[in-house]
Amino acid sequence: MNKQTIIIVIFLVILVAAVVTWAVFFRGGKVEPQTNPSGTNNQASGIGGEIYDKVQNPIANKLPESSVGGNVNPISGAYKNPFGQ
């Protein structure tokens, strides 16, 4: 192949890539969010919903009681910053 043919092929490849890019990004249109076809908001539909309903946090609302008194940080005086105030 001569030089002129190679240049024409490269130009055509760049032109096709530009047209495809333009078509994908600018002419793609809006994508509508997926909706539930039955019209209900039932989270327990399918195996994922069943697993979600069965598996919950076993320690929910069971935080340990803490009695934070006056001395919140027991080692606050252990280190004195030589550059601080």
Domain boundaries, the chain: 1-27
So what's the pLDDT on residue 57?
A: 73
Residues of the chain with pLDDT > 90, as a percent, come to 21
Greatest extent of the chain over all pairs of C-alpha atoms, in Å: 87
So what's the pLDDT on residue 7?
A: 95
The better pLDDT of the pair 28, 19 is held by 19
Per-residue pLDDT band at 39 (split at 50, 70, 90): low
The reported pTM is 0.34
How far apart are alpha carbons 8 and 10 in whole angstroms? Answer: 6
Residue of 58, 53, 56 whose CA lies nearest to 42: 53
How far apart are alpha carbons 48 and 6 in whole angstroms? Answer: 55
Q: Cα–Cα–Cα angle for 48, 54, 55, nearest 5°?
A: 85
User: Rounded mean pLDDT of the chain?
Assistant: 76
